[in-house]
Structure 1
């Protein structure tokens, strides 16, 4: 067995999928290879991500097919530094690969049943509001033309405004967002463009009963001034 081949057994060893001969040879190598020790330790931690495993008998032809195919693949030694920098969710793929190697070592293989949370990865805060299971929305015509729809989610604790056909603000002015709370209208950011825009209201949604859009001097105001472009009321459970 070459050095590259012995390195490639780290994943199968971590999930106890080697036969007695392979295990003995790998443990001899493990005693002198710091990289493989680090690889095995990392993969052992990663197995905690397995929510459920089910052992089933493989087809009789599987072992022979894999042994034949693996001769065409050149195993590489572990890249420990690169693995340590990966985001935690990517361990799922590493564990799956390690378990797949376990087919070479014995009489069963493992079917992984892991929940994939990749659908949430990379979403902006605005996206999370728009996709929230409890999202509600209110649509209003804008005083200067166009339409604004305010989406709000109690679970996310945020609100988002989506505009269509929003005309430019007057020169020297901006569209300012507000949340209506018991203390009054609270500044909540700005709409920074025209036409179709999506903006997240700044600040938490707790205690808010509605939202508004006004035209304010550049830089915004601490309290709303006229003209009011839109006001909307939230449903009672929005807070």
Structure 2
């Protein structure tokens, strides 16, 4: 076992070890609670990047990172140069993730756009090339924003700061067709004031979406006047 086995935790968390290193480290991991805790925290930090706000990196960031990487003095592991290089690339990525999370901001390196596979179900509707967006502010100050993509045949809703409802009541979403009929499209969980979800049912032919207050569990047809009614543009 190499003397720097503890230093492998970052590279292990990012799956940057070769098979021999991985086998050696996993044997060590079984008996080292400190390394297990570090691996878990690094994996959690990396996963948390997807939930943070995106912003443009400051000018010169790439050059500073590369310059710093060139002068970093690594620990002297008993491994070959290629292994050491892979490890430090992995540790640098983890360190960047931790710094960005601590600051509450994340961005894609060198302004690279997100791939569709990295988006949530709601995000895929929001970022579809033909996505339409319409927002309504409610009298109590809450907002309802609906996104519709005809190419995906999907709609998604983001609600914020909805007024509290009496016990046994929930907000229910609806999709409206060209004849004015309302089809149930999902229920905001009871007691939740802010949420986002993809609406049930085909959305390409819908002309709008609505929100009503319904008994817990939802209704098959609206039983109240709409709290919000939002029209889509032409599909």
What's the TM-score once normalised by structure 2's chain length? 0.49
Greater strand content: 1
Highest Rg: 1 or 2? Answer: 1
What's the TM-score once normalised by structure 1's chain length? 0.48
